[in-house]
Structure 1
C-alpha cells in the first residue's frame, strides 16, 4: 500500500469541491456506498417501522383528509425526522469504515467493513447511539406507542434531545472517524497516549467555527436534496398511477427512504470533510508523503488508518497537555 498514492487525491478543498467529490465517489462506488449504508441502517429502519408505522396506518383507516389526521401525520413526520437524524452516525459506521479503506485501496470490500464494525461494536455503539441520544429517543417513542400524543413529550422533550444532539454533533462531527478509523483508545494509563477525548480536542479545537458553519450549510443543503427526493418519487408515482393524493405509500416508503438517502450522502460528505480538516489543520498530506517514503526505505508498517492518531500534530498536542498537567501538579 502506497500512502502517497491514494484513490482520492489528498489536498485542501472548499466546501463546494467536497460536494463535487462526493458526487464523484457516488459515481465510482454507488452500490458499495449505498449497499454498506443499507446494511448499517437496516436494523434502525426496522425499529423505526415498529415504533412509528402504527400512526399513519391508524389514521389511514379513518381517512387522511381531516385536521386531526393531519396533526397526527405531522407528529409522525417529526418523530421520523428526529429519529433518522439521531441514528445516522451509528447507521453509517459500515460506510465510514468502507470509505476509509477506499481512500487507500482500489477495491475494498463491504464484507471486511462489516467485520471491522462488528469487532468494534462496543467502542462505537455507546458513544454514537446512546450518548448522542438515538436510543433514548427510541425509548421515548416506544413509551408513546399507541397514544394520541402529548405536547410535552412530542415537542418539548424530543426537541430538547434534538437540540442536545445538534450541539454535540455540530461541535464534534468527526467522532465516528476517530473511533473506527483512527482507533483512538477511549481511556489509557499512558499519560502520553492519544485518547479519544484528547484527539477530539486536537482535531476540532483549531477549526471549531469553520467546522460548525460547514455542519449548518451541509445540513441545509441535504434538507433541500431530501425534499427533492421525496417530491421526485411522489411525482413519478403520480405520473404512472394517476394518484396524486397523500397515501400510505408516500408515508411508509417514500418519506423514510428520502431521509435515509440523504443520511447516506451525509456520511460520505462528513468523511470527506474530515479528511479536509486533517489536511488543513494537521498537514496530513505532508505526513502521508513522509510515512510513504519511510515505508519504502525501511519496510512495511500497520494500517495507515490505525496509525493516524499518532500523527505529528496530535502527538504535539498530547505532549503539551501532559506537560501542562505536570506543571500544574508541581505548582500545586
Structure 2
C-alpha cells in the first residue's frame, strides 16, 4: 500500500465535480458496488416486507398501496447509511490498493459492529424508525404517524450537520470511548470534523436533496417501462416489494459513493490530507530503508 499513490486523485473538488466523479467511480467498480449494496439491501428489504406485512392483505387498493409505498420509502431512507456501510468499506480499501481484496476489506468490521449499532442503528433512528413503521401499520396506528414524521425530520437534520459519522467509524476506526481526555474518540473526531464546517455541511445537505427527484425519476421510469412492455400498470407487490426498493437502493448506493468522496474532499480542504499522505508515505519509505 502506497499512501501517495491513490486510485482517486487527491485534490480539492467542487460539488458538481464530486457528483460527476461518483459516476466514474461507480463505472469502474460497478460489480463490487452492486455486490456490497445487495449484500445489505436484500436483507433489509426482506425485513421491510415483514414489517409492512399487515398492509399486504389490502393490496393493491390505491390507499393501501400509497401507504405501503410511502412507508417503504421511509424505511429505506432511514436504513440507507447503515445498509451502505459495506460500500464505504469497499471504497476505503480500493482507494489505496491496485488490487482490491474482499478478505482485507472484511478483516476489521466485526469489531466495529457495536459502534455502528449504537451510533447509527439506534441514535440515528434506524431501529426506532422500523419499530414506529410497524406500529403505523396496525389498525390504530395513525397516532404513531406524527412521531414517525418527527423521527424522520430528526434523522434528516442529524445527517445534514454530521453526515460523515459512518466514514469516521468505518475508516478512521477511533475508539468508542476513552478515559484519557486526549484520546480521539468517535464523538470527539466527529465534533472536530463537522463543527468547524457547519455552513459547508448545510450546503452539501441542500445539494444532496437532488437525490429525491433522482429516485422519483428512476422509479417512474421503471414503472412506465413495466407498463409499456407488460401492460402492468398497477402498484402491486412486484412494484412495491421489488422494483420500488431496487430504484431506491440504486440511489442510496450512488449517494454513498458521493458521501465517501465528499468526506475525502472535506479532509483535503480543512486538514490538508493530501500533504499528510505524502509525509506518511515518505516516513514509511524511510522506515523501510533503515530496517
TM range (shorter): over 0.9
Residues 239 and 84 (structure 1 numbering): CA distance in 2 closer, same or farther, change over 3 Å? Answer: same
Aligned pair partner of 1:212 in 172, 196, 202: 202
Paired residue for 1:117?
Answer: 109
Q: Does residue 105 of structure 1 match 2:97? A: yes
Counterpart Cα distance in 1 of 2:205 and 2:53: 30
How far the C-alpha of 1:28 sits from its partner, in A, is 0.5
Q: Does residue 81 of structure 1 match 2:70? A: no
Paired residue for 1:33?
Answer: 33
How far the C-alpha of 1:149 sits from its partner, in A, is 5.3
How far the C-alpha of 1:113 sits from its partner, in A, is 2.9
Q: 1:55-110: CA deviations, max 9, x gaps?
A: 2x3223xxx4xxxx433222222211221111111111111111011111122233
Counterpart Cα distance in 1 of 2:77 and 2:235: 23
Paired residue for 2:177?
Answer: 187
How far the C-alpha of 1:9 sits from its partner, in A, is 0.4
Counterpart Cα distance in 1 of 2:6 and 2:273: 12
Counterpart Cα distance in 2 of 1:239 and 1:176: 41
SS in 1 for 2:284: helix
SS in 2 for 1:181: helix
Counterpart Cα distance in 2 of 1:42 and 1:21: 26
Residues 110 and 42 (structure 1 numbering): CA distance in 2 closer, same or farther, change over 3 Å? Answer: farther
SS in 1 for 2:172: coil
- Over the residues paired in the alignment, what is the CA RMSD in angstroms? 1.7
Q: Contact between 1:132 and 1:165, CA under 8 Å: does it hold in 2?
A: yes
Counterpart Cα distance in 1 of 2:123 and 2:82: 11
Counterpart Cα distance in 1 of 2:98 and 2:288: 21
Paired residue for 1:151?
Answer: 142
Q: Contact between 2:112 and 2:173, CA under 8 Å: does it hold in 1?
A: no
Gaps of 5+ in 2: none
Paired residue for 1:326?
Answer: none
**Greater RCO, 1 or 2 (C-alpha within 8 Å, sep 6+):** 2
Equivalent positions of 1:31-70 (< 5 A) are: 31-55=31-55, 57-60=56-59, 64=60, 69-70=61-62
Counterpart Cα distance in 2 of 1:285 and 1:194: 21
How far the C-alpha of 1:144 sits from its partner, in A, is 4.0
Counterpart Cα distance in 1 of 2:262 and 2:226: 35
110-119 vs 224-233, which moves further: 110-119
Residues 238 and 75 (structure 1 numbering): CA distance in 2 closer, same or farther, change over 3 Å? Answer: closer
Gaps of 5+ in 1: 301-332
Counterpart Cα distance in 2 of 1:296 and 1:232: 52
How far the C-alpha of 1:216 sits from its partner, in A, is 2.2
Equivalent positions of 1:173-252 (< 5 A) are: 173-218=163-208, 220-252=209-241
Q: Contact between 1:96 and 1:177, CA under 8 Å: does it hold in 2?
A: yes
Q: Does residue 279 of structure 1 match 2:265? A: no
Larger Rg computed on CA atoms: 1
Counterpart Cα distance in 2 of 1:200 and 1:121: 18
Aligned pair partner of 2:280 in 291, 308, 315: 291
SS in 2 for 1:4: coil
Q: Contact between 2:40 and 2:84, CA under 8 Å: does it hold in 1?
A: yes
Alignment coverage as a number of residue pairs: 289
Q: Contact between 2:75 and 2:133, CA under 8 Å: does it hold in 1?
A: no
Paired residue for 1:254?
Answer: 243
